[in-house]
Amino acid sequence: MALRSVVPPIPPRLASFLSHQSAAYHVKELEASSEHISQSLSDWYLASRRKLPWRGDAEPQDGWNGSGTLDGSALNSDSKGKKASSQKSISSFFAPKPKPDPTSLATPTSPNTTTTPRAAAMTITPYHVWISEIMLQQTRVAAVIPFFTKWIARFPTVSDLASATEDDVNAHWAGLGFYRRAKHLHNGSKYIVENCKDDSGEVVFPKTVEDLLKVPGIGPYTAGAIASICYGIRTPAVDGNVLRVWSRCTTVCANVKGKYGGPWSQVLGEAIYKGCPTTVRSGVLNQAIMELGATYCQNQGSGIDASDPLKEAYGTTKIAEDIFTYLRAGGPAQDLRDLALTCKCEICCESPDSNGVLAFIEPIIDAVEKPGGTTSTLDEVKSLAHRSLPLDPPKKGKRDEILHVAVVENEKGEFLMGKRESSGLLAGQWEFPYIVVKIKLAKEGGGKEKQFTQDTFSDSNITEMLNSYLASLIGEEKINVRKKLDPPIVHVFSHVRHFMNVEVGKTDATQIVRNESEFSPPNGVTIPAHEAYEFVSKDDMKARGVTSAITKVLKMIDGGAKKTSKATKKRKNESGSESKEDSPSKKVIKNDV
- How far apart (Å, rounded) are the C-alpha atoms in residues 175 and 39? 38
Rounded Cα gap, residues 412 and 535, in angstroms: 9
Burial class (CB in 10 A: 0-12, 13-18, 19+), 270: middle
534 is annotated as an active-site residue: no
Among residues 257, 343, 316, the alpha carbon closest in space to that of 22 is found at: 343
Asked if 254 and 348 touch (Cβ cutoff 8 Å), the reply is yes
Eight-state DSSP code of residue 533: E
Q: How far is the C-alpha of 21 from the C-alpha of 1, rounded, in Å?
A: 42
Determine the Cα–Cα distance for residues 56 and 34; give it in Å rounded to an integer: 28
Nearest to 314 by CA among 579, 13, 527: 13
Q: What is the CA radius of gyration of the chain?
A: 29
CB 224 within 8 A of CB 126: no
Q: Which of 413, 403, 590, 412 is nearest to 504 (CA)?
A: 590
Report the C-alpha gap between 171 and 151 in whole angstroms. Answer: 10
Is the backbone peptide bond immediately before 390 cis, with ω within 30 degrees of 0?
Answer: yes
Distance, CA of 384 to CA of 101 (rounded, Å): 38
Q: Is 410 helix (H, G, I), strand (E, B) or coil?
A: strand
C-alpha closest to that of 276 among 306, 223, 236, 245: 236
Closest CA to 58 of 15, 99, 112: 112
Cis peptide upstream of residue 60 (ω within 30 degrees of 0): yes
Alpha carbons 20 and 348: distance in angstroms, whole number: 10
| Beta-carbon count within 10 A of 435 CB | 22
**In whole angstroms, what is the distance from residue 343 CA to residue 153 CA?**
54
10 Å Cβ neighbour count for 99?
Answer: 12
Catalytically annotated residue among 29, 59, 133, 291? 133
Q: Tell me which residues are annotated as active site.
A: 133
